Amino acid sequence: MENNRPLWHLEQAIYKCDHASIGAFLFAMWGLPENIVRATAWHHEPTGFATNEFCYITLLHFASCAAHVKFEVPFCYGDELIPEVAEKVGLPLDYVKELD
Q: Does residue 1 register a pLDDT over 50?
A: no
Q: What is the pLDDT of residue 66?
A: 81
Cα 15–Cα 25–Cα 53 angle in degrees, nearest 5: 110
Prediction pTM value: 0.63
Q: What is the pLDDT of residue 29?
A: 96
pLDDT tens sequence across 29-46: 999 988 889 888 887 777
Show me where the domains of the chain are located: 2-98
Q: What is the pLDDT of residue 38?
A: 87
Kindly state the average pLDDT of the residues 10-35. 90
Per DSSP, the chain holds a count of helices (H) and strands (E) of: 5, 0
Q: Does residue 11 register a pLDDT over 70?
A: yes
Residue with the larger pLDDT of the pair 62 and 1: 62
